[in-house]
């Protein structure tokens, strides 16, 4: 097998959950036709669309209509679009531009059928991958993070659900949490997913590239052991989310 090619038998993609603004057959910005529902995020919805311009299926991420008056939601998607224009790497999802529909910004990306690394792990015996699979996956993820770091960005939300497979090779998606490498000042907000956040990230201390390195190590640990680092802490404390197994996102002021 080529480097990073995962065996995907049994890696069933999780069905999308939540309510979507658009139904299959609806049009977005004229030349995009909704052909499927992919996911509901914190600020936006993801659709599989057919592009009459590109003549292929793409992923469309658009701000949810109920968030249209939230400046944070609009700014987050526009920031993600700018970042994707600046970073181009085989292990990072490709951008196809974007625009606005009914006053809502949207972002177009390549359509990745998946499954996600979360699906692969969750459907593996004892949630563990063979070392011959886990190490190449970590190499690909490390290459993507290195590219982001060289361009002055931190990813900050590394987790299995944010890695979709393209022909068996993991691709980093969802750059909504990406930030510029910050000045040595205390960050105002925490943005990330609890089991993969570096200690300084949780404590709201200055962030650095080491935060992503920690996340990569935590991910490799999970692939090889089927557990999170310090899982007993997460499973026995009082979490701020309904189910820790859903990879809770922590976003605090």
Say how far residue 161 (Cα) sits from the centre of its chain. Answer: 6
User: Residue 92 has what DSSP assignment?
Assistant: B
Distance CA 144, CA 171 (A): 8
Distance of CA 98 to the CA centre of its chain: 18
Beta-carbon neighbour count of residue 7 at 10 Å? 14
Question: 69 is written with which tokens?
Answer: 């008056």
Q: How far apart are CA 13 and CA 162, in angstroms?
A: 13
Joined together, the tokens standing for residue 95 give 């951008």
The answer to whether 157 is a known catalytic residue is: yes
d(CA 206, CA 200): 7
Sheet of strand 95-101: strand arrangement? 27-28, 32-40, 44-51, 56-63, 104-110, 95-101
CA distance 190 to 253: 7
Task: Name residue 49's beta-bridge partners.
Answer: 34, 58
Residue in 91, 119, 122, 157 annotated catalytic? 157
Dihedral sign from CA coordinates of 159, 164, 169, 173: negative
> Any idea which residues carry the catalytic annotation?
157
């Amino acid at each position: 097998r080529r480097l990073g090619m995962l065996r995907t038998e049994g890696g069933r993609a999780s069905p999308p959950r939540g309510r979507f603004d658009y139904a299959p057959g609806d049009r977005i910005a004229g030349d995009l036709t909704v052909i499927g529902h992919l996911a509901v995020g914190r600020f936006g919805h993801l659709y599989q669309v057919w592009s009459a311009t590109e003549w292929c299926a793409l992923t469309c991420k658009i701000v949810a209509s109920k968030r249209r008056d939230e400046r944070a939601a609009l700014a987050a998607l526009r920031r993600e679009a700018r970042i994707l224009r600046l970073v181009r790497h085989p292990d990072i999802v490709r951008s196809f531009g974007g625009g606005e529909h009914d006053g809502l910004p949207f972002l177009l990306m390549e359509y990745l059928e998946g499954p996600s690394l979360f699906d692969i792990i969750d459907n593996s015996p004892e949630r563990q991958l063979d070392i011959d699979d886990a190490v190449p996956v970590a190499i690909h993820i490390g290459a993507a993070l290195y590219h982001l770091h060289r361009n002055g960005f931190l990813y900050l939300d590394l987790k299995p659900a944010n890695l979709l497979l393209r022909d068996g090779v993991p691709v980093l998606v969802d750059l909504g949490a990406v930030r510029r490498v910050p000045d040595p000042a205390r960050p105002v907000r925490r943005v990330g997913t609890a089991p993969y956040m570096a200690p300084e990230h949780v404590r709201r201390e200055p962030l650095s590239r080491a935060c992503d390195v920690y996340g990569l190590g935590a991910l490799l640990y999970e692939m090889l052991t089927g557990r999170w680092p310090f899982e007993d802490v997460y499973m026995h404390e009082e979490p701020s989310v309904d189910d820790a197994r859903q990879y809770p996102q922590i976003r605090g002021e």
